[in-house]
Structure 1
Amino acid sequence: MLPVVVVQGGAGYVPSEKSKASRAGVCAAARSGYVVLQSGGSSMDAVVEAVTKLENNPNFNAGCGSVLTTNGNVEMDAIVMDGKTLACGAVSAVRNIANPVQLARLVMDKTSHNCLTAHGANQFARAMGVPEVPQESLITEYSRMRWRKNLADDPNTAESQMGKMGTVGAVAVDIEGNVACATSTGGILNKMEGRVGDTPCIGCGGFADNQVGAVSTTGHGEAIMKVTLARLILFHMEQGQSAEAASDLGLAYMKSRVQGLAGVVTLDPHGHWAARFTSPQMAWAAAQKDTLHYGLLAGERFTQGIDEP
């Protein structure tokens, strides 16, 4: 069963013209993470590699491709967590960084803190030799178009949320049975400056514990925070539920209790995994036993050899 990596490219609505690129993007990220695991890398190495791949892909709302704040800026959040030790690192409202997930790992590895925010996170990045990039390099024409449209329209209408895609993330278990998670996001469309969502919050945007499993979440961030979705799912797993059943229970509770939609990728230390969502769509992919599984729509699940084009 081991090793396994499962990635998600964001819960929400993916326009038909972007569906092919979304599927291809999560498949490429899963392959990259799986290569790390096959070569003996840790689950933490694998999830950071997979999420970095998604951050570098302009089709996703993380890194290059992040949505814009009301003022037209890019502010990003990310988290990593190691299930072996419960070590974690996060950054929030960070600017001018190409790969926030890598900075989050540095927070975990190089500081005694769990989370650094805004100016402090950027100051730490400079101290670690992480290069800053021009904000324009993170902004796509698609993101700018959606930003302009949302300034003109009611941000709560379906039309203004066209192409809405959420947080990206990954979970993995390596050959030693260690689990890890990583999650990264540009946030929600036309958010206020300084808004921080669920992603960098432990137990909300992600959680990993070798005794139970790992979860990475995506969707309505404020709603996810209210129910601490990642930890809630692992609680159900602690009660004996499977990764899939626990994911469904957590998502159903969130929908009924706070009317929020979300998606998750979940796995246990034995390699049983799930990709579940209550949003209209969620691009996801999983690599296990040299087989790639992937989908976008509810009930959709394709399989192919890991090396097939």
Structure 2
Amino acid sequence: MSAVLVVHGGAWAIPDELAKASVDGVKTAAREGFSVLKRGGSAVDAVEVAVRSLEDNTVFDAGTDGFAQCCEIYLMFQLCLTYFLPQTSHVMLTSQGANLFAESIGISTVPTETLVTEYERREWEKHKNYMTGVIEDFNTQWAHDTVGAVALDSAGNVACATSTGGIRNKMVGRVGDSPVIGCGGYADNLNGAVSCTGHGESILKVTLARLILSKIEQGKSVTEASQMSLQHMGDRVKGAGGAIVVSPSGHWAATFTTERMAWAAVEQDVLWYGLDPHERLKEQLPQ
């Protein structure tokens, strides 16, 4: 079975000054994640490597440069630790419990303030009022969003990973779609893996990731399932966003309803990538 890895750097109105850096970032992450699959590694390990690459790149809103909440420069980390299921019977841990569990299995931590760059501090000062139309912000130059990856490995297993810094100036305590299973991401070996991006509240309301996989289960192609689900989210709750999908047969899609989404995919040593609607460029990877 041919391995596949797809990544996204967030669906929003990416300005021209960030376009090249965004595309370069997703291409790098896709290469790094696919290198794990090429060595026979698991889909879970591949998406972790890819998302770590995106988190360490300050052009994306995840990890370093995560968005600041209202009232103070503060980042809240919520860990969705499905990767560690063999070590606990629970599916999802959050808040202090997640932090304690992460420490118990040796995950290193860093001071929260080190993840907020000077650029993000300045942007927080400019846009302190969250209640000025969050959905509209996804079509302005001020919005960033989530990063994610999906993969199919040579054993036929699929996996997804989704990470975000959230929405700038959100209320303290706000939970977005990324850590919620079936919304920001979902993986099922029978139907595929999905990572979503966009306005979190809208994604939560339609359980976007699970909606996409349910349409694949009904016989739709990965592209049709993504397009139909994103259209439903727009019609039903006026939300915009994007999704990357891979099926157990190796078919994949990168679809979005925002102005732009940086994405990249690798299959059989070919790197595909894009930024604008209908853009699908490719380059051959070195053997």
Given that 1:77 and 1:187 are in contact with CA atoms closer than 8 Å, whether structure 2 keeps it comes out as no
**1:241 aligned partner:** 220
Matched, 1:124 2:105: no
User: Is there any run of 5+ residues in structure 2 with no aligned partner, and where?
Assistant: none
Conserved 8 A contact 1:168-1:185: yes
The question of 1:48 aligning with 2:48 is answered yes
Check 1:108–1:185 CA distance in 2 against 1; reply closer, same or farther (3 A cut): farther
Counterpart selection for 2:155 from 161, 176, 192? 176
Aligned partner of 1:191 in structure 2 is 170
> Match of 2:111?
134
Measure how far apart 1:146 and its partner are. 1.5
State the Cα deviation string for residues 76-135 of structure 1 (Å, max 9, x = none). Answer: 345xxxxxxxxxxx1xxxxxxxxxxxxx35543422212221222222222222222122
Change (3 A) 1:159 1:174: closer
Q: Any unmatched runs of 5+ in structure 1?
A: 79-89, 91-103
Taking a change above 3 Å as real, the CA distance of residues 75 and 306 of structure 1, as seen in their structure-2 partners, is farther
The count of aligned residue pairs is 284
The one-letter code matched in structure 1 to 2:92 is C
Shift of 1:207: 0.8
Secondary structure at the residue paired with 2:254?
A: strand
- Corresponding position of 2:75: 74
Classify the secondary structure of the residue corresponding to 1:237: helix
Partner of 1:264: 243
For 1:109 and 1:217, how far apart are their aligned partners in 2? 26
Aligned residue in 2 for 1:19: 19
Please, what TM-score do these two structures have when normalized by structure 2? 0.94
The answer as to 2:57 corresponding to 1:57 is yes
Q: Distance in 2 between matches of 1:125 and 1:153?
A: 31
What SS does structure 2 have at the residue aligned with 1:115? coil
Q: Secondary structure at the match of 1:17?
A: helix
Contact 2:149-2:195 within 8 A present in 1 as well: yes
Separation in 1, partners of 2:122, 2:286: 36
Q: Which letter does structure 1 place at the counterpart of 2:127?
A: N
Secondary structure of 2:22's counterpart equals helix
Deviates further, 121-130 or 28-37: 121-130
Over aligned residue pairs, what C-alpha RMSD do you find? 1.9
Identity of aligned residues (%): 50
From 246, 255, 273, the counterpart of 1:294: 273
1:148 to 101, 125, 146: 125
**Aligned-residue offset at 1:154:** 6.4
Deviation beyond 4 Å, 4+ runs, structure 1:
157-161
Structure 1 residue 162, shift from structure 2 partner:
2.8
CA shift, 1:57, in A, is: 1.0
1-structure distance, mates of 2:25, 2:147: 11
Change (3 A) 1:152 1:258: closer
Judged with a 3 Å threshold, the aligned counterparts in structure 2 of structure 1 residues 232 and 129 are, in CA distance, closer, same or farther, namely: same
